Amino acid sequence: MAKGAKAAGATGRKARGAAGSPAAGEVVGVRVTHPDKLLFPEDGIAKLELADYYARLAPVILKYVARRPLTLVTFPQGIGRSGIYMKRLPKGAPPWIETFRDQPEPVRAGQEKEPVDYVIARDGSDARTLVWTAQYNAIEVHPWLSQIEHPDRPDWAVLDLDLHGAAGRPADHLERGARVDDGVGRQLAGQQDRVVRGVVGTPPDERLADETAGTCHRGAVRRIDRAHDRMHGDSLHE
């Protein structure tokens, strides 16, 4: 969303009550409370606009998150304050929200952990669940790398390029190494203050075959390492 832009046009959107007083909004049938809450204060973007944005972008976003357990990062006080990681379906969630139950491995024998009920978007048309995450102030939506049908078999490989540097090496070494091959990295100039995360592998409609995500990961790292070696005469792994 462009800075200062105002989202508009989602089906079923309602914003204010009589006399301009704040009221619950509605986007694709999802009730959005406190619609005027500013989640991006510097840009003037409110909660209802985030919900509207999710609704309009749902056909694209759902290609990446549908059928995958979701970890949400919510910002009830706006993007300028600390976010809250949320894995479990919160109390009071609407009954139509679908979940996937995961049983975490025990730390040690006899110390079982409570199962975690993750929110999932049912399929590529489930804009309603995506809009509900906005109702919960979720500005970040992190999907698992595997789908619920095969939770222990990731079909994506994700490579984090930490531009603050790795193994004591300056960040610009990583930046130039990643730029050598567009199949691995992207143009990272001007991104020194953040971690850039890119999906390594195939588009979501061409899933990686079982047990190949790790191979893809290792191959990408080797390519970056070789590119770095060609430019600097040493290895990132030394």
**What is the pLDDT at residue 168?**
47
**What is the pLDDT at residue 214?**
64
User: Are the CB atoms for 151 and 69 separated by under 8 Å?
Assistant: yes
**What is the pLDDT at residue 194?**
38
**What is the pLDDT at residue 153?**
83
Per-residue pLDDT of the chain (238 residues; tens, 9 = 90+): 333 334 434 444 554 433 333 457 899 999 999 999 999 999 999 999 999 999 999 999 999 999 999 999 999 999 999 999 999 999 999 999 999 999 888 877 777 789 999 999 999 999 999 999 999 999 999 999 899 998 988 887 776 655 554 444 544 544 444 444 444 444 333 333 334 444 444 445 455 554 566 666 677 677 767 766 666 655 555 4
CA dist., res. 121 & res. 197, Å (int): 22
Which structural domain, as residue segments, surrounds residue 162?
A: 157-232
- Specify whether 20 is located in the same domain as 93: yes
Q: Last residue of some domain: 109, 143, 177?
A: 143
CA dist., res. 177 & res. 167, Å (int): 15
The number of distinct structural domains making up the chain is 2
**What is the pLDDT at residue 223?**
72
List Cα–Cα distances, 122 to 12, 62, 148, 193, 221, in angstroms.
21, 9, 10, 35, 33
Whether residue 5 is contained in a domain is answered as no
**CATH code: domain of residue 28:** 3.90.920.10
- Specify whether 47 is located in the same domain as 121: yes
Q: Last residue of some domain: 116, 143, 170?
A: 143
**What is the pLDDT at residue 193?**
39
Whether residue 225 is contained in a domain is answered as yes
- Specify whether 34 is located in the same domain as 102: yes
